[in-house]
Amino acid sequence: MQKVGKGILVLAEQKHGKLHKVTYELLGKAAELSRKCGLPVWCAVAGPEELPVEELVFRGAQTVFFGADKRFDTPDELLLTRFFKQVVRDTEPGICLMGATSFGRSVAPRLAAALGTGLTADCTGLELDEDGRLVQIRPAFSENILAHIKTDTLPQMATVRYKEFPEAARDEGRKGEVVRVELPDPADRLAEVVSELKSQEADISDAEVIVAAGRGVKEAKDLGMIRELAELLGGRVGASRAIVDDGLIGRECQVGYSGSRVKPKLYIACGISGAPQHLAGMRESGYIAAINSDPSAPIFNIADIGICEDLYRAVPELIRKIRAAKDK
């Protein structure tokens, strides 16, 4: 098979010195592609000095390009884009992979534009054709078809959905090289991060229980009972796009096609109709409970248990029953 470019580069994600698991999933996929085309697996990461970069080697990176700088403690996406662009320019990879997380969705388009290359977002599959070109597979038209996309320009850049591929196995015996990368000149910065926006809700992508609110929840203050139920169950709050667009809750809570894809053990949908774009993000949940006053709501078609009831009655009742059971 022909080699396109000089390597497969995974663009790592970290926050406050902790690597995001999507990076390990991408390294696993990169290794699989590498076995077919013979290109080396590389990883680029920027973060604080104490970042455990050897972990990236244990997960299969043959070379790690490390930008160690405390400026990366804050999520300055413009600076990160410049860092990744520099690594790509210096190393000339044929393939660049990034997670389709909020971080990846923000940085990858900037990077693709800066490099003058294409970007296929939200991939669920990656293959190589007989000429060694990357076939980027992603659902299209509300997940009704799987599009197979090839990019004419280099590097071939794709973001990949979190939890789509298994993580690369960890092997402490793996050897790799860590190459320090000098960062872009600080005087060249386009923006200064003065503070990090603190979200009221925690990250939902790894939550084991999610209580999600839809347009059945009429006002922001009514989200209090959703949060209370989530807290009681040790879970997090999710949302449909409808109430995110209405400004009731932050975008980081959105579940679905254009939000997060989640696989909790328990998903409770409160006042959510079950549009295909919402189901795309939660249908693989372990156990799905739906509360909806409309018996014909499509969410009931995929729910393990359906409660056809006004959520303003059902949710407080559930809270009361769970509290009573806990107090016993």
Q: Which stretch binds ligand FAD (CB under 6 A): 89-97, 132-140, 223-231, 253-261?
A: 253-261
Q: Of residues 201-230, which lie at the interface with ligand FAD (CB under 6 A)? A: 214-216
Stretch that binds ligand FAD, among 58-66, 108-116, 186-194, 305-313 (CB under 6 A): 305-313
| Dist. CA 29–CA 41, nearest whole Å | 10
Q: Which of 14, 205, 240, 285 binds ligand FAD (CB under 6 A)?
A: 240
Which positions from 171 to 190 touch ligand FAD by CB under 6 A, shown as an x/- string? --------------------
**What are the angstrom distances between the C-alpha of 172 and each of 58, 59, 77?**
5, 8, 31
Contact call for residue 293 and ligand FAD (CB under 6 A): yes
Q: What is the DSSP string of 187-247?
A: GG-S-----PPPPSSPP-TT-SEEEEE-TTS-SGGGHHHHHHHHHHTT-EEEE-HHHHHTT
**Nearest CB to ligand FAD, comparing residues 155 and 271:** 271
Residue with Cβ nearer ligand FAD (104 or 281): 281
Shortest Cβ distance from residue 274 to ligand FAD (Å)?
Answer: 7
Examine residue 124 and tell whether it contacts ligand FAD (CB under 6 A). Answer: no
Q: Which is nearer to ligand FAD, 8 or 255 (CB)?
A: 255
Residues 6+ apart with CB under 8 A from 304: 287, 288, 289
Q: What would the DSSP string read from start to end of 238-304?
A: EE-HHHHHTTSS-GGGBBSTTSB----SEEEEES----HHHHHHHTT-SEEEEEES-TT-THHHH-S
- Select from 24-32, 95-103, 119-127, 271-279 the region that touches ligand FAD (CB under 6 A): 271-279
DSSP 141: T
Nearest partner of 20 among 102, 110, 112, judged by Cα: 102
- Taking CB under 6 A as the rule, does residue 306 contact ligand FAD? no
Q: Is 292 in the site for ligand FAD (CB under 6 A)?
A: yes
Residues that bind ligand FAD (CB under 6 A): 214-216, 240-243, 254-259, 271-273, 275, 277-278, 281, 291-294, 297, 310-312
